[in-house]
Amino acid sequence: MTDTPITGDITGVGGTRISYRIDGPEGAPWLILSNSLATNMSMWDPQMPALSASRRVVRYDQRGHGASAPAAPPYTVDQLAGDVIALMDHLGIESTDFMGLSLGGMTGLGLAIHYGPRINRVVCADARADAPAAYQGIWDTNIAKLHESGISALCETTLGRWFTQDFLDNPENADMLDDIRTMIRGTAPQGYEGVGRFLQSLDLLPGIPSITCPVLYVGGENDMAAPVDVMQNMADQTADGRMVVIPGAAHLSNMEKPDVYLNAVSGFLGLD
């Protein structure tokens, strides 16, 4: 048994390099964590001490994020889910639990729909499965701003969607917010645009009734990107789905309310 972290790279769909890290005891049940748009694997740092105590945790950076290489946009669910399957094959993981937030949650749904036998349980946090017209328009605006002014220009508006105003105004959160700005700025422009175009074509809702594994949907009470009622509808259409709301949180609920988030997922993942 060892808790020594392991880092590496694998070749994802289309030859894209995907970076990963493994923490936790050898031989423990597998758990894969997937990041949101414009973040990297470190977004899961608040939960890692608890998760890695009893699980073999694999974190990876989505293509075009963190240390993973970008690929030409747009991205597709086949690419995003296929990167995970390539990672599992490389590590010899036959089946796993999966937890993702926003883009990561959508990836988890894609895996459950298209690779059901290899996914045991999914935590889908702060994610939606469809792309109504107003939602599509957000990404046209953001991508135009990206091309005009660079990704740094998206930082403050992004933080305003990700967190409640109370969290943003609290001086105790200043260092964390600076770290998150660094994550956003570290996202490759192709990675941001690739995901933005994927989100515009998001069409996972019709496949949700076919999911056979248990799915826990987790939503921030104040999340405007993936509202609670939208996520509740997804849970209602999932054969073994349930929904839990994180009070006082917006989109990055695991970072805004880390302890509440951990408590919400612990029982489902068998951490208790």
For residues 226-254, b (16+ Cβ closer than 10 Å) or e, as one string? bbbebbebbbebbeebebbbbeebbbbbb
Q: What domains can you pick out in the chain, each with its CATH number? A: 6-269 (3.40.50.1820)
Q: What is the pLDDT of residue 173?
A: 98
List residues bridging with 259 in a β-sheet.
none
Tokens of 182: 């660094």
Residues with pLDDT less than 70, the chain: 1-2, 272
Q: What is the pLDDT of residue 100?
A: 98
Tokens of 191: 């990675």
| 6-11 sheet: strands from edge to edge | 6-11, 17-23, 56-60, 30-34, 96-101, 119-125, 215-220, 241-246
The verdict on pTM exceeding 0.85 is yes
Tokens of 184: 């956003």
187 backbone dihedrals φ, ψ, rounded to 5°: -80, 130
Q: What is the pLDDT of residue 272?
A: 67
For the stretch 198-236, pLDDT in tens is 999 999 999 999 999 999 999 999 999 999 999 999 999
